[in-house]
Chains A and B, each alone.
Chain A
């Protein structure tokens, strides 16, 4: 086994996306252990003239790679695999990554580990950590079958800024065909610049609030603070209790207020990625094993329906 690594890079205007730089860090850890080589695969629509001394670059260009399609990126990644013959393929656990990465693993009949949050080395062997069982437990995996495809959870690794300078860059003009895909369009939901971006205190509601009427409690709690805003986990937005513009998480908004109060939120990795930069986190959740408590400065293990009115009474008294 060569243990060679290939990273499929997401980039925009010749700049690597932040998540791609996090993949570099993850790959560096593996390459250091295995003393193996790292190749960056960049699907693009025109040949690129970029170089990076630390990594080999392989630019796969085709007019059909101008925007992400599952069909196009799968072909580009398979082409990269054919050229590079990697044992480990690293992909972001983004809405593009989780769309095609499992397909790639199936086509290669390899192992696949999703939303990896850490690389662990025990007795000179490499293991991959991810969160499971509703975020309550961590699971450690060994990749028995190669090649291995991993998708890396955004925010799990620090970003690594590669050095500039001379390096090896191969351009491959690929014969990518989109036989099944057409009419590809992207649009932005109207979620820019909401009060959430400027709030000092974000009070967020999760599935644990139980019913829509209990949102009033969350709003009352928010009104105890200056410059506060109400937000929700994806379930709460899916149910239509709050608009998608107030959704916190990878697919919604990332916030970093001085204070974040999580009410009835279990703390899935997707949600944590959206609020872990908050300066202070308070969680109110009766389930003492809920993952959110591990990301909190202050944990309140209580039924929020009883606790929040009690807390509001304390605020009113003083």
Chain B
């Protein structure tokens, strides 16, 4: 089984950031720590579990971005993936999911993946578009928010269960090749083993150029980063820890909530 896992490197949730002069780009502090998008870690784990159960499986890891994303790819190799690819994009502007999915589709040409796995969305931008768009570009079926799956190699299909709204689950069977996006409840990502860490040190991450015509396509464009909407005009408690605790008690008591 040939598996591709698409991962994104994201800045950690507490990263210091600034907004650029044009108010349409986010600039992160040089000291920012980046990690693998949490949902994509689950995608890697899902791929590793397939590799352990189906003989002759191999896992390719792909990420788009500048040199720094190689640390995320390296980490995936340490977890046990086989080959790492970086689709080179050095630009400052965040790429539209439409462009990213076309870059990956280009990469997939001739590689004949049976299964493509990615996270249900990125933690930072939360669009959830690249996966289904890539499947559409490759003209293969897809399923999002997958909570569990079973691959049937005899009839070349995958049975899977999706998370739906309000506590519903939906299951279906799809013919391979398929793209799935996984929800975080699907598994517990492993820590890299020592032997895989040593192996990954020697692995080369292959750089792949992306077509420049894709860089210049225009889809939706970020034009402004306005103040977030405020759902409630609340109060922020001040003072020492003890004073805040006292103030909260008094406020709740005043409303007969405690």
Contacts and interface: CB of A to CB of B under 8 A. Distances in A.
Contact of B133 (A106, A132, A302): A106
Interface in A106-121: 106-107, 109-115, 117-118
A131 to B, nearest CB: 7
Contact of A234 (B184, B234, B246): B184
Nearest to B243: A310
Nearest to B140: A180
B98 A111 contact: yes
What size tier do the contact residues of chain A reach? 35 or more
Nearest to B249: A314
A168 interface: no
Interface stretch (A34-42, A91-99, A209-217): A91-99
A231 B171 CA distance: 26
Given A102-B133, A103-B133, A134-B124, A142 B220 contact: yes
B219 A294 contact: no
Q: Is the interface of A mostly helix, strand, loop or mixed?
A: mixed
A181 B128 contact: no
Interface residue range, chain B: 35 or more
B252 A103 contact: no
B185 interface: yes
Interface stretch (A22-30, A67-75, A80-88): A67-75
B241 to A, nearest CB: 5
Interface in A129-144: 129, 131-144
B168 A307 contact: no
Interface stretch (A48-56, A57-65, A187-195): A187-195
A185 B258 contact: no
A315 interface: yes
Given A132-B125, A297-B235, A244 B167 contact: yes
Contacts, number: 267
A251 B166 contact: yes
A31 interface: no
A137 B249 contact: no
B9 interface: no
Contacts of B144: 95, 98-99
Given A137-B225, A225-B258, A295-B231, A69 B244 contact: no
Contacts of B132: 98-103, 106
A191 B184 CA distance: 19
B184 A307 contact: no
Given A132-B124, A318-B249, A188 B167 contact: yes
B220 A133 contact: no
Contacts of B131: 102
B225 A95 contact: no
Contact of A185 (B135, B171, B252): B171
A165 to B, nearest CB: 31
A252 B232 CA distance: 23
Contacts of B258: 224-225, 315
A238 B184 contact: yes
Contact of B220 (A101, A144, A184, A314): A144
Nearest to A290: B13
A71 B143 CA distance: 10
Interface string B145-184: 1000000000000010011111111111111001000011
Nearest to B236: A299
A142 B231 contact: no
Nearest to A108: B136
B212 interface: no
A287 interface: yes
Nearest to A134: B13
A295 B125 CA distance: 20
B222 interface: yes
Given A252-B167, A299-B234, A314-B248, 12 more contacts: A70-B141, A70-B142, A105-B133, A134-B13, A145-B219, A189-B168, A201-B257, A225-B257, A253-B166, A276-B231, A295-B232, A302-B241
6 contacts: A95-B162, A103-B142, A144-B219, A188-B167, A225-B258, A251-B167
A-B residue pairs, 8 tightest by C-beta:
A295-B231, A106-B136, A103-B136, A238-B185, A140-B224, A102-B132, A106-B133, A102-B129
